[in-house]
A = this chain, B = another copy of it.
Amino acid sequence: MLADTMEQFFQYDERDFGRRRTLDEVTGKPESMAFPRAPQYVRTKDFFRTAPVMKQSVETLFELNKRYEVFIVSAATEFPQSLFEKHQWLGEHFPFITWQQMVFCGLKTIVEADIMIDDHFKNLDPFKGYTILFSQPHNLLQPDNRHKRVHGWSDIADILL
C-alpha cells in the first residue's frame, strides 16, 4: 500500500478512454473489471516504476521503520518486469528501506509476521497475526469484521505509532 496503483489505473484508463471514471463506477470491482485494459497496463513498461506514492506513506513508514521490524512484501512475480521496477521505485521513494527488507513474491501466505497491512482479503484472511485492511475501491463493499479497516496512512500512524 505504498504505491497508489489505483490512481495509476485511473490515469492510464483516462488517457485511453477520454474521461476519468467515477469512484462509483469502480467501487466493488476487481481492478481487471473496473478498468478494461488493466491486464495490459500491469504488463506495460514503467507502469509500476512511475506509480504515485500513497499520501503520507513516506513519513509514516519512516517512523514505523524505527519502531518495528518492517518488511515490504509485494506481489510481483506474476509480472516479471515489475520486479526490477518495484525495486527501483522503493529505492527512489523509500531510501530508508534496505534490500534486506524487500520481498517480491506471488502468494503472501509464505510470509510470517505479526502485523499485515494489505488491501486484499486473499492476503489478509489466511494471515495469523493482526490484520489491517487498507481501504480501496475494490474492497469497499466487502465486510471488514475480521480486519481493522483504515482509510490511509494517517489511520495507520494512529494505530501503530
Contacts and interface: CB of A to CB of B under 8 A. Distances in A.
B104 A100 contact: no
A83, A87, A100: residue with the most chain B Cβ atoms closer than 10 Å: A83
Interface residues of A, number: 25
Q: Which applies to chain A's interface (DSSP): helix, strand, loop or mixed?
A: mixed
B106 A110 contact: no
Contact of A111 (B99, B100, B104, B112): B112
Interface stretch (A27-35, A72-80, A143-151): A72-80
A106 B97 CA distance: 11
A102 B103 CA distance: 10
Contacts of A87: 77, 80, 83
Interface string A77-100: 110110110011000000000111
A157 to B, nearest CB: 23
Nearest to A103: B105
A88 B84 CA distance: 13
A101 B106 contact: yes
A101 B71 CA distance: 19
A105 B87 CA distance: 11
A160 interface: no
Pick the 6 closest A-B CB pairs, nearest first: A112-B112, A100-B106, A83-B83, A77-B99, A77-B102, A80-B87
